[in-house]
Every structure is written in C-alpha cells, then in structure tokens.
Amino acid sequence: MRYKKSALVEKDGHSCSRQHEMAIDRKLNKRVSYFHKEHVIIEKSKDKVLYNAFLSAYWLSEEEIAYRRFKSLLELEKLLGVSQIHRFQHRSQGSQRVVFVSRSSFKK
C-alpha cells in the first residue's frame, strides 16, 4: 500500500532491473517441458556418448572382430550400464561403416 508506483514500473524501477529479469527466468525454467529437459540431457552427454561409441569401434577393430558385432557390443554396454550409451542413435549398417572408416583413417 505504501510504495511509489514509479519505483516499480518506470525505467529505473524494479521491473526493469536485472534482478527482476533473473527471477522471472528462474520461475520460467522451472516450468520447462519434459521434451526440453530430455534435449538438454542429450546435448550435455553427446560428446561422452560419441567417445564411448568410437572407443567401442576402436576396440573391435584392434581385436579384429567384425564390425557387424558393433551393434551387439553397444547393446551389451547398455546392459552393463555404460553411461548414456543408449543415446547413441547411429546403429544402421551405413553409420557403422562410417564409424569404422573414420577410425581407420586415424590409424598411425
């Protein structure tokens, strides 16, 4: 009841301050959808997932195991609880070939 309206709504008032904007952002971030949360998790774990998948491909080629076993190796890793490996989506034959070709191009 005892406040100056100008202190709240004008150019220099609270509603235009950085602190007010941050409070609104925090409130809106709590309302984020399930799909957005999943997207954020995927983006954060993308590098680690690719690293684990390429490390698996490297191991297969070093052990001279057919690259067709790549998909079953990823399934095994999923069962063993390797962090986020279930998010690796490139499981087609073409994608597997690309992984192994790119791996062989880095061979010393």
Lowest mean pLDDT among 1-10, 25-34, 95-104: 1-10
pTM of the model: 0.53
- Between CA 102 and CA 54 the distance in angstroms is 9
Residue at 75: amino acid letter = E
Residue spans per domain, the chain:
46-105
Give residue 4's pLDDT. 61
Mean pLDDT of 13-40: 77
Percent of the chain beyond pLDDT 90? 0
Q: What is the pLDDT of residues 29-44, one digit of tens each?
A: 777 777 777 888 888 8
pLDDT at 47 over 60: yes
Give residue 3's pLDDT. 63
Give residue 26's pLDDT. 79
Query: Residues 74, 91: contact at Cβ < 8 Å?
Result: yes
Give residue 58's pLDDT. 84
